[in-house]
Amino acid sequence: MEKLILKNKKAYHDFHILEKIEAGIILHGMEVKAIREGKMNIKEAYCSFHENELFLMQAHISPYSHADAEPYDPVRPRKLLLHQKEIRKLKQKRDEQHLTLIPLSLYWLGNHIKIELGLVKGKKLYDKRQDIAKRETERSLERHQKLR
């Protein structure tokens, strides 16, 4: 059973999501407890390849409130767990189609924290405006149907 921890709403606004992938994430020390407290931010995060491994970059996890005062880097690169075949396939798609790999959501799957990655392409300004106009018309139609 999945339990959503956080969702990257900005990603759905700024990008066309072409493909979704589930990955595990390696966390250290009190990071899991900090995430439980809701102290994680993935708005500016992205994924980077380094020597056939995939890393989550710029994901901010604030220090746990009850942890000792030890040196801690809140935006350190975090390794993502995928099979080598999946990593090669993602890297190939990213390079061929000039796409970006970003985190879309973070959730519990049993006792493990999983991250949903998206292979995305950036939206143009007019695409964003069209999405907003479409959303507004759907809302107004729903309101009119409720009034009837």
> So what's the pLDDT on residue 70?
73
Residue 26 lies in a domain: yes
- Is 23 among the domain residues? yes
- For residue 17, the domain's CATH number is 2.40.280.10
Residue 144 domain flag: no
Mean pLDDT in residue range 34-51:
90
Question: Could you tell me which of 48, 64, 68 has the C-alpha nearest to residue 56?
Answer: 48
Identify the band that residue 10 occupies on the pLDDT scale cut at 50, 70 and 90.
confident
Whether pLDDT at 71 is above 80 = no
Higher per-residue pLDDT: 99 or 2: 99
Range of the domain at 78: 2-123
Give the distance, in angstroms, between the CA of residue 35 and the centroid of all CA atoms in the same chain.
14
pLDDT at residue 1 is higher than 70: no
**Confidence at 78, pLDDT banded by 50, 70, 90:** very high
Give the mean pLDDT of the chain: 89
- Whether 140 is in a domain gets the answer no
Q: Does residue 128 form part of some domain?
A: no
Q: Quick check: is 21 in a domain? A: yes
pLDDT band at 25 (very low <50, low <70, confident <90, very high): very high
Number of domains present in the structure of the chain: 1
Question: In the structure encoding, which two tokens stand for residue 11, read together?
Answer: 């990603």
Residue 97 lies in a domain: yes
The whole-number pLDDT of residue 67 equals 75
Sheet holding 112-122, edge to edge: 2-7, 100-109, 112-122, 15-25, 78-81, 53-57, 46-50
